[in-house]
Amino acid sequence: MISSGAPAALINMIFLDGKKLSEKILDELKIEISGIKKQLRLAVVVVGENVIVRKFIEQKKKTATAVGIDIRIYPFVEKITTDELRQKIADIVHEKKNTGVIIQLPLPEHLNPQYILNSVTPEKDVDVLSARSLGNFVVGRNKILPPVVGAIKEFFEEYKIDYKNKYIVVVGAGNLVGRPVALWLLQEKATFSVLRSSTPNPAEFLRKADIIISGVGKSKFITGDMVKEGVVIIDAGTSESEGQMVGDVDCVSISGKAFYITPVPGGIGPLTVAMLFRNLVTISRLRSN
Alpha helix stretches (DSSP H) within 95-164: 113-117, 131-138, 147-158
- Please say which residue, 90 or 252, places its beta carbon nearer to a second copy: 90
Binding site for a second copy (CB under 8 A): 114-115, 118, 130-136, 138-141, 165, 173, 179, 182-183, 185-186, 189-196, 198-199, 204, 208
Q: At its nearest, how many Å lie between a second copy and the CB of residue 175?
A: 8
Q: In this complex, which beta carbon is closest to a second copy, that of residue 128 or of residue 271?
A: 128
In the complex, least distance from residue 3 CB atom to a second copy, rounded to whole angstroms: 21
Residues 6+ apart with CB under 8 A from 242: none
Which DSSP string corresponds to 61-103? HHHHHHHT-EEEEEEE-TT--HHHHHHHHHHHHH-TT-SEEEE
Smallest distance, a second copy to C-beta of residue 132, A: 5
Collapsing DSSP to helix, strand or coil, 201 comes out as coil
- 266 burial type by CB count under 10 A (0-12 exposed, 13-18 middle, 19+ buried): middle
Question: Alpha-carbon distance 149 to 168, whole Å?
Answer: 14
Cβ proximity to a second copy, 179 vs 257, nearer residue: 179
- To a second copy, the closest distance from the beta carbon of 232 in angstroms equals 18
Nearest approach in angstroms of CB 129 to a second copy is 9
Q: CB 162 → a second copy: shortest distance, Å?
A: 13
Nearest to 77 by CA among 69, 67, 85: 85
Helices vs. strands in the chain: H and E counts, helices first: 10, 11
